[in-house]
Structure 1
Amino acid sequence: MERGQIEARVRALGEWFHNLDLGGVATAPDHFLGDYPRAVWESIQGSVPADLRGKTVLDVGCNAGFFSLEMKKRGAARVVGVDHDERYLAQARLAAEVSGLDVEFENRSVYDLARLGGRFDVVLFMGVLYHLRHPLLALDLLHAHAVGELLVFQSMIRGSQGRIPVAEDYRFEEREVFDHPAWPKLHFIERAYCGDGTNWWIPNRACVEAMLRSAGFDPQPIAGTEVYVCGRLPRDPAESGAVYPARE
């Protein structure tokens, strides 16, 4: 595909959130976050398995497919990217076509992962949690139906970056601990944040880690980032008091 054709197809697909280099054409050169998400990838790529030969990868909330393509470059046998936005999926398919990489892209919700029919060795869940009205349900479903070995997780984090020791239980009369800045907290966005009405819940750092543990993951932070590499623990969310049938 000639450069002019690529430029025309990039323009036809509207505004891009991922800045990709497609045959010398930058899809979002003026992104407010800079060279996004490449800058994120450069800070975490050393913590993600470099050799994915024989492995399957699922990219949940794939957007224009940047991370899906990077996983395929590392030799993954199968990469599936899912998103609920058809424009993003069209962008991702164009990116895969120009890059010459075989990646599958599907319109699917995070709440619908059971219908994929099996687990994936590596699951990416980057920049999705805070867009969900039911974030802990999504993590439980990832554990129950999608993650086979490893979860690579990222969320926007606001509020305290600290952590405090949390007891196994507290008396009913205890109140002060909830006012501590580092108590695990989700900040609810009723209307919009950063001009985006799909931002619903933004956690502090302690909350990210507590939610991941509650859903059955072992969160290992990548220093200087909002990204965690998480092993899968053999834990059923129902053991944490979940009242819904997570397997259904």
Structure 2
Amino acid sequence: MQAPPNLAERQAELDALHWWHSFDFGGGLAAKGVKTPAVVTAEADAYFAPLSLAGRDVLDIGTWNGYMAFDAERRGAARVVATDHHVWSLDWTHGRRPFDLAHRLLGSRVEGRQIDVPLITPDSVGRFDVVLFLGVFYHLFDAPTLTRQIAGCARDLMIVETHHDALDVTRPAMIFYPADTLNQDATNWWGPNPHCMWWLLRECGFGRVFYRDHPHNGDPAGANFRQRGIYFAFRDDAAVARLATRTDDWHDLGEASARAAIFSQPGQPPASPPSPRRRWWR
């Protein structure tokens, strides 16, 4: 019988892979990711701490190594489906291998599906209480169209985390990045401002939208502040009541004071809440 690998061999297996997320698997085993343990822990708390995930089903789109999917499971989600395609198709990221290894070491029941974002619909993956759309929006050439499509997979809540730009523009706006002009990454296409994201999520059928700054946005007085943001888009008040345990860390964008704080420039009146439009194709 072959002897089980020792700790050094198991750690070497982890170290041989590229990790975006850091993991502590216990027993002295850890994956050292680009995102440090402090960063992934703070991000997970920002997404999940105000929510009750117990018994819920969760869809994590663009999961990469799966940290947020595994953390949703740890926090009591009854079913978690983690999807990726781009990252899992690349040689330099070692494809899906880091996700599968983390899955094994954690003894997880998360379901992994390799499916590209344009193919994600309620028919292809189903509908979920919570949809995680974290760090994906700005990588999509057809970002508004695909956001509306994926919104159909969310029964109650869609959490969107995105890069921001056009923060000095007082109207809903997005900046387009041709080629690799943002961070030398040709997969970065768009930089929306918070005003744009609010209107877009409202048009996608979410009646209550809350905002919070990314936990690592830095000094509020600094030039780089609010370059990333998190949106909690609920279908309605009943969905808020079902899932949110508290909202004190969030800005309710349905309130004029919150909109003034997040995306109105000095001297500009806060925007009025948008009404769902009547579209000619309905």
| Cα distance in structure 2, aligned partners of 1:198 and 1:207 | 20
**1:182 alignment partner, one of 163, 170, 184:** 170
Between the aligned residues of both structures, percent identity stands at: 28
Superposed CA offset, 1:17-58 (max 9, x none): 1122233444335x3778432222233432232x422x2110
| Cα distance in structure 1, aligned partners of 2:25 and 2:37 | 17
| Alignment pair present for 1:28 and 2:66 | no
Letter of the aligned partner of 2:158 in structure 1? L
Match of 1:64 in 2: 65
| Cα distance in structure 2, aligned partners of 1:239 and 1:80 | 32
Residues 52, 77 of structure 1: 8 Å contact kept? yes
TM-score in terms of structure 2 length: 0.68
Structure 1 residues 34 and 118: alpha-carbon distance in aligned structure 2, compared to 1, 3 A threshold: closer
State the Cα RMSD in Å.
Answer: 2.6
| Cα distance in structure 2, aligned partners of 1:59 and 1:128 | 11
Match of 1:164 in 2: none
| Alignment pair present for 1:122 and 2:125 | no
Structure 1 residues 81 and 125: alpha-carbon distance in aligned structure 2, compared to 1, 3 A threshold: same
Gaps of 5+ in 1: 161-179
| Cα distance in structure 2, aligned partners of 1:200 and 1:67 | 24
The correspondence of residues 20-169 of structure 1 with structure 2, limited to 5 A, is 20-23=23-26, 24-29=28-33, 31=34, 35-49=38-52, 51-53=53-55, 55-84=56-85, 85-86=87-88, 87-114=94-121, 115-144=123-152, 146-160=153-167
Residues 61, 82 of structure 2: 8 Å contact kept? yes
> Displacement, 1:240?
5.7
> Displacement, 1:142?
1.4
| Cα distance in structure 1, aligned partners of 2:108 and 2:38 | 22
Residues 18, 66 of structure 1: 8 Å contact kept? yes
**2:10 alignment partner, one of 6, 9, 14:** 6
| Cα distance in structure 2, aligned partners of 1:125 and 1:112 | 14
**2:231 alignment partner, one of 221, 228, 233:** 228
| Cα distance in structure 2, aligned partners of 1:5 and 1:110 | 36
Letter of the aligned partner of 1:209 in structure 2? W
| Cα distance in structure 1, aligned partners of 2:30 and 2:193 | 33
